[in-house]
Chains A and B, each alone.
Chain A
Amino acid sequence: MKADRYQYHDYYQINDLLTEEQRLVQQTMRDWVKQEVTPIIEDYAERAECPVHLFKQMGELGALGPSIPSEYGGGGMDEISYGIIMQEIERGDSGIRSMASVQGSLVMYPIYAFGSEEQKRKYLPQLATGDMIGCFGLTEPDHGSNPAGMVTRLTKDGDGYRLTGAKMWITNSPIADVAVVWARDDDQKIRGVIVDKEMEGFSAPKIEGKWSLRASITGELIFDNVYIPEENIFPEIKSMRGPLSCLSKARYGIAWGAIGAALDCYDSALRYSQERTQFGKPLGQFQLTQKKLAEMITEITKAQLLAWRLGTLMNDHKATPAQISMAKRNNVMMALQIAREARQIHGGMGITNEYPMMRHLMNLETVLTYEGTHDIHLLITGMDVTGLNAFS
């Protein structure tokens, strides 16, 4: 792996819109990614191994659940800082960002938002430090884009419940100590359950053979009549609003994160186009290369503005799920297209692990699909502007 020569690109001086604290967060995370992620990532991705040690490091940095209040071990930071953290981590790798997204937005956030005081005190501080790893179970083998169709059941049994069913495509699941799982109860209501790894009847087999997010571990969750005590159920929330509010947080982070992957590809392509010569002049002097680079930085700049504005709406508690869908969909596709164009600029070298594009390209295929597919987000926007539901 070559030295990481990455430089940030801020064509519209959007950094001027950031607070001193947000800029410090950006620099801190960028330094950490350069020191700890890029030197090892190609190797871990190639071997399809998860660098589990990064959980503790991200915990020490405060990158796990940064917007959770500090009394529960979080950072008490604003949503733009959270977005910046996701962007800088994903500049390194979407898989590492996924590890942090799931822990922060899909595990810590629901425990913070819907958990009892005891649940918050028991789990959040350990999740914040990375001493405990969490995962989130919503998607099922037969219910992906339609999570409300879930068949995982939570049935009353004495003082507690029994959990039966299976979840699929669960980031972190084989190494997780705790899973936040959504299931339908006897009244057909969606309930949130905290499943501890030691519980009898619970297993989390690994999904093998992924060509994407290879440095992030993915698995299933299988519940074979698992006994769940009452204290492990979220007390109040009894609808799809529970899991969907978690997804809004995570999708928001992805809208920022994808820009990181795009910037890494653009940065590499820009440098390569200045250093590589053909026909006696640098690649960057050819009009077709300039077209690619100019379009890339234009799209990145638009995505940066979208993410920043969405962040201010999030901070003001005004962002709608449909606004988040638009940013997630736009920014992920933008990143995927840039990864492909940047790969082309590198010619044959672009397919090797000397450069980051192929890894980002493969990762982004997952990012395009998880947390609401590209098409589903389009239909959410369509429904929002027409008032007509294309799903039913």
Chain B
Amino acid sequence: MNLLVCISKTPETTAKIAFTDGNTKFDESGVQFIMNPYDEWYALVRAIELKEKHGGSVTVINVGPAANDVVIRKALAIGADKAVRIDAEATNSVMVAKNIADYAKANGFDAIFTGKETIDFNGSEVGGLIAGYLDLPFVSYASDLQHDGTTATITRDIEGGVEVVEVSGPFVLSAAKGLAEQRIPNMRGIMMAKKKPLEVVAATAADAPVSVTAYSLPPEKGGVKMIDPENMDELVRLLREEAKVI
């Protein structure tokens, strides 16, 4: 089973968020980057588990500059067999998905995994776009995946419950919490990762006709109002008139 896992880098969750260039660009200075947790903890680990069960190989793919290699090496340390980096700045989902789809088309995979979203831009678009470019079925928000070698049985998280679907043949999946358990790489994995191939390929697709107009930070949190537990009428009034939640 040959599996392709798309990995993205995202700022560490405690990073301070700021913007430059007239609020059109994320300020990366002093920010530490990690592998997007949905890609790492769920998509990658489940792919490795399937390979361990059925044989084959796991390739990880990233669109980005050489600075992303440390994130890619981590994927290799966790257990991916090889890595591909498409050497271009990842400017938006369309461009990322097109490049990955072109690579996947040329190399052929039994399944392509992404995280359900990146924790920075929350696009949830790349998986669906890849499936569109390759004309493959797309199963989003997968929280369980069983595969007998020919047919995949996938549980999807839906509002208030789950949906179980079956897919035969190649497909694209986006991974949600529950699909696998996080694996911490060990020192042997880190040492082995150095020897695994990391192929750098030129981008096949140029930028897409999408650009960011502006980013803005959420409004500062307001203060907390303390209400006497005896005074329920006041609580209801504030929730209705000020917070406007009921």
Contacts and interface: CB of A to CB of B under 8 A. Distances in A.
On whether the two chains bind one another, the answer is yes
Nearest to B194: A21
B14 A62 contact: no
28 contacts: A7-B14, A20-B70, A20-B73, A21-B191, A21-B193, A23-B70, A24-B73, A24-B74, A24-B77, A24-B185, A24-B193, A28-B77, A28-B184, A28-B187, A31-B184, A32-B184, A35-B184, A62-B187, A62-B188, A62-B190, A63-B187, A66-B187, A70-B191, A75-B188, A75-B191, A77-B187, A81-B187, A85-B187
A25 interface: yes
Contacts of B187: 25, 28, 61-63, 66, 75, 77, 81, 85
A62 B189 CA distance: 9
A27 interface: yes
Contacts of B186: 28, 60-62
Interface residues of A, number: 24
Given A7-B14, A21-B194, A27 B188 contact: no
B152 interface: no
Interface in A50-81: 60-63, 66, 70, 75-77, 81
**A interface, over-half SS:** helix
A241 interface: no
Nearest to B77: A24
Contacts of B185: 24, 28
Contacts of A70: 188, 191
B70 A76 contact: no
B69 interface: yes
Q: Which among A27, A62, A63, A77 has the greatest number of chain B C-beta atoms within 10 A?
A: A27
Contacts of A28: 77, 184-187, 190
Interface string B95-129: 00000000000000000000000000000000000
B34 interface: yes
B184 A76 contact: no
A306 to B, nearest CB: 23
A5 interface: yes
Q: Which among A8, A21, A32, A63 has the greatest number of chain B C-beta atoms within 10 A?
A: A21
